[in-house]
Amino acid sequence: MHNFFNWTFNDVVQVLKENNFRLNYTNASHYYYVGYYGGILKNVCVPYHGTKSIKPRTLKGVILQSGIPKEKWFNR
């Protein structure tokens, strides 16, 4: 079973950068990353709230937006 709990902003950004996503712009406490996955351009919104964990439902949304398979997120 995958663990959607206790992911921080830095954890999420690390996975995105490992998959060649780059910071496109920021808007208040949201960071927007852009990159290609599977030949398709993806735009991913990552909320930043200090060291607080990202909520599991939000993390699931980030994973869907990125197009990166769950296995790549959790089997690092």
Task: Identify each DSSP E strand in 1-76 by its residue range.
Answer: 22-27, 30-37, 40-47
pLDDT score for 75: 87
- Range 43-48, long-range pairs (CB < 8 A, 24+ positions): 44/16, 46/9, 46/12, 46/13, 46/16, 47/9, 48/9
User: How many domains are contained in the chain?
Assistant: 1
Query: What domain range includes position 44?
Result: 9-74
Which residue would you say has higher pLDDT here, 73 or 3? 73
41 in Cβ contact with 34 (< 8 Å): yes
CA distance 57 to 61: 6
66 in Cβ contact with 42 (< 8 Å): yes
Residue 38 counted as domain residue: yes
Residue 76 has pLDDT above 80, yes or no: no
Residue 18 counted as domain residue: yes
pLDDT band at 19 (very low <50, low <70, confident <90, very high): very high
CATH number reported for the structural domain that contains residue 67 in this entry: 3.30.920.30
